[in-house]
Structure formats: C-alpha cells, structure tokens
Amino acid sequence: MARIMSPAPTMPSSGDQPVLPTWEEIPTDLAQATSEIKAAIRARIESSGRSLEDVFAALEAAIVERVNEVEANNEAGETSWTVVDYDDIAGGNVDSETLAHLRRSGCLVVRDHFSREQALQWDTDILTYVQDNDFSDAYGGADDGFFGTDKALPEMYPVYWSSAQMEAHQSDRMATVQSFLHRRWNWTSNGSQWFDPDHHAMYPDRIRRRPPGVDSAGLGAHFDTGNLDLWMTSAYQASFRHIFDGAIELFDPWDAAHRTAGTQYPGTTMCSAFRTFQGWTALSDMANDQGVLWSIPIPEAIAYLLLRPLLRDVPDDEMCGVTVNRVFALDERWHSLLLRAKSSIPDVQAGDSVWWHCDLVHGVAGVTNQVGWGNVMYIPAAPWCERNETYAASVLSAFETGSSPSDFPEEHYERGWSNRFSIDQLNEHGRRGLGLGPARAR
C-alpha cells in the first residue's frame, strides 16, 4: 500500500515577513499565547505592505457579495446547496457549471446515492441491531449532551459497527462519490501529494434517529476544524498561510497543502482524521423545515473567522470567544455578517446523501413536534493520507473489539454484541479503508 508522506509544514519565506510563534500542544497560558500570536499575525500581515484593516476589508467585501447571493436565494425559495444525481457522478457527467457551483457553495446533495429501498432497509436493520442487543436498557437514559434533548434514548446512537453502516461505508457507490468529492480539492502541489483521492480511509461515526413528534433545540452555528490550534500550530499556520501573510486573494479553501499531517489540540469535538467533506446518508425522508442541517455555503468564511479576532475591537487576549476543549461556536456579536447566510438543505429522501466542505460553518435547526423521522448515518469523505493512516490503525483495533472509535466517548456498547460486522465481511474497499492489505485467497 502506497504511503503518502507530507513534508514538514512551512510558511512561505517571502521577503522579511516575521516568523510566527507556534504551540504544537495546548499552551499553558492561553491568554498570553493568544496575545502573542495575534500580535505576530498582525505584524506579519502588515509587513506585506497592507494594513490588517485593509486586508480584512478586501475579504469582507468578497464575503458580503456571497452573503447577499445566499440571502437572495433564500428569499426566492431556492437552495444555495449544489444538487447532483448519483448517476451523473458515476458516469462522469457532472457539467462544469455544476462543478463551479460546488466550488462556490462547498456543499452538496447527491440524489439517489442509494436507492430509497436500500436506505429504508438499512434503517430497519439498524433498529433490529440495537433492539436485538437491548441497547435501550444498556443506554440508561442519559442525555446525549449533543442536541439538548433529554429522554430514554439518545438522538445520537453511539453505534458504529452494524452491518448496515459497514455495508454503506465499503460500498462501490460510496467510493465513487468519495472520489468525486476528494477531487474537488487540489491534492498535489510543489511536488507533494497530500492525499490519494481514490483510497478512502474509513471514519466510523454514529447514527442519528429522531422519531416523529419530537421537540429538539437543534445545534448552534459552529465549525469543526479546530479551535485555538487554527492560529497556533505549525501545520494550520502553513495551511492558512495566505490568510496570515496578507495575500488574502491567494487563499484557496480547496488547497490540501499541509492539511493532512498536522496535529490538533485534543478535545471532545476533535476529529483526528482529515475529511475533505463531512457527510451523512439519509435513512428517512426529511422535509427542509423539520429541524434539518443548514450550512453557511461560503468556504472562504474560514478566513473571516480567523482574521476577525485580530481587529482592534476584540480584547488582545481573546479570539471572539474561541477557546480549547470547546466547539468553535459563532457569535452574533462578532459574526453577524456570516450568520445572515444560513442555508438549509433542500428536502431529501432516504438514500440521498448530504456533504459539506470540512471548514463550512453549519448547525441544525430546532423543531417542534417533528413530522416524520429524522434518521441519518454519518459517513464522511476521508482520503488516505498521513494523518488518516495514523487514525486508521486505532479504528482497526476498535473494529476488531467492537469498541467506540478513539475520537468518540468510551462507551463501547457493541463489545458484547455478537452480530456486529466482522472482519471476514470486509470487501476490498473496507480492507483498504482500515489499512489492511488485500484479502488472501482461501
């Protein structure tokens, strides 16, 4: 199996731009480190010949244009999400206009990714799997701490190894869509290959089952890429080099350089893998006013999130409320421009899949007395790269023992469940996704 090694992260050394200090682990004095990095980034940007305020104004003008487009779409009742039929992806028939739309929106619905019948069968199979193993008794009625609901069963089931999930993970149709998604990124540059777009690391995640009639508070605006590490680690500084060096016009949210090897600060919401897109597959039909996912369909918005705290109206030792061990939440006080551009997914039916660029701000709308089920299985697109190869080793050992993967709470419900998916049921996609070689002939 080919290894993909990433070179050590480096910031471009153009001219006399000051070098940024780095903290590869969480700084012991957060306030001091925050003040230090903010001053250093300001100085670096200003050494480009433009003030921070000028650079931010140029960025903001571009973002305002996109926000206005999304607002106009919302008012017209049109979606800002890109929508593609699975057959067009499989046949290589996605036209250039649609590809350009996806490049701008960063989010996609794949229609008929799986047949509706297949998805509904998977939904039934998962229910049977948890019922056969008395999950509700084992679960004990704890609050899942995620969607702010409190009831005997969680909305998020910490179940990873059902046949239904694993069949979807390792299916040809999933691999086809994941390759398409990876190829939206620039995965080679300056003689480096950052990832393999046709080799998919398996990233097991949970399922969500939300029954009809439920009330849910939803999830606020956030993004999952990191927190203070976004400004402080060498890998993220290199990834976001054009945000931090004043050449904001050169920033490309689809550039994979230095994204695939670095560390993240540990925390409850961290993702050890590099995902080109986060995603889920619908296991029920869902109308877009029933507490569904929304995104801010502007991949460049991450530059706004990273530069906004450097403006002078934010205290020197603060990052607009962002800190370690907490999700990066948006705040109306600092991010009101971006929050105008919330864009719900369109109606989906079971078998459609939903994808969003890993840096997109997103959330889940609240709902009262939900009509119909709200069931999904989370399966992202994670290409083979140094970072994902490392995580795959821990995924494999979790798979072998039925444990919760190491990015998730140590609940391990499935360890004693005899009918979970087994290693001899893996096909070639499944084996490669877990870092295993080809199956030996029997």
Question: What's the burial of 404, exposed, middle or buried (CB within 10 Å: 0-12/13-18/19+)?
Answer: buried
Locate the DSSP E strands across 172-227: 188-189, 192-193, 196-200, 207-208, 219-223
DSSP string, 47-92: TTTS-HHHHHHHHHHHHHHHHHHHHHHHHHT---SEEEEHHHHHTT
As a whole number of angstroms, the distance between CA 280 and CA 355 comes to: 7
Choice between 23 and 147, CB closer to Fe ion: 147
Distance of closest approach, residue 136 Cβ to Fe ion, in angstroms = 26
Q: Nearest residue by C-beta to Fe ion?
A: 224
Q: Which two tokens stand for residue 54?
A: 């000028």
Are residues 223 and 360 in contact, defined by beta-carbon separation less than 8 angstroms?
yes
Choice between 123 and 224, CB closer to Fe ion: 224
Choice between 237 and 278, CB closer to Fe ion: 278
Choice between 158 and 197, CB closer to Fe ion: 158
Distance of closest approach, residue 441 Cβ to Fe ion, in angstroms = 42
What are residue 295's phi and psi, to 5 degrees?
-130, 165
Q: How many residues does the chain have?
A: 442
CA angle at 322 for the pair 333 and 358, rounded to the nearest 5° = 100
Choice between 59 and 376, CB closer to Fe ion: 376
Choice between 88 and 408, CB closer to Fe ion: 408
**384: closest CA among 202, 183, 191, 180?**
202
Distance of closest approach, residue 14 Cβ to Fe ion, in angstroms = 35
Choice between 356 and 413, CB closer to Fe ion: 356
Distance of closest approach, residue 132 Cβ to Fe ion, in angstroms = 30
Distance of closest approach, residue 188 Cβ to Fe ion, in angstroms = 28
Choice between 127 and 271, CB closer to Fe ion: 271
CA distances from 413 to 125, 163, 263, 403, 433 (A): 17, 15, 29, 7, 23
Choice between 224 and 245, CB closer to Fe ion: 224
Distance of closest approach, residue 376 Cβ to Fe ion, in angstroms = 13
Distance of closest approach, residue 335 Cβ to Fe ion, in angstroms = 16
Choice between 83 and 156, CB closer to Fe ion: 156
Choice between 351 and 380, CB closer to Fe ion: 380
Distance of closest approach, residue 274 Cβ to Fe ion, in angstroms = 15
Distance of closest approach, residue 362 Cβ to Fe ion, in angstroms = 6
Residues at the site binding Fe ion, with contacts judged by CB under 5 A: 224
Residues β-bridged to residue 279: 355
Sorted by sequence, the CB contacts under 8 Å of residue 202 that are 6+ apart come out as: 169, 170, 382, 392, 395, 430, 433, 434
Distance of closest approach, residue 43 Cβ to Fe ion, in angstroms = 33
State the pairing for strand pair 107-111/82-85. Answer: parallel
As a whole number of angstroms, the distance between CA 23 and CA 2 comes to: 31
**28: closest CA among 232, 225, 239?**
232
Distance of closest approach, residue 440 Cβ to Fe ion, in angstroms = 39
As a whole number of angstroms, the distance between CA 356 and CA 394 comes to: 25
Task: Please list the alpha-helical segments (H only) found in 340-385.
Answer: none
As a whole number of angstroms, the distance between CA 263 and CA 346 comes to: 35
Please state, as a whole number, how many other Cβ atoms lie within 10 Å of the Cβ of residue 25.
11
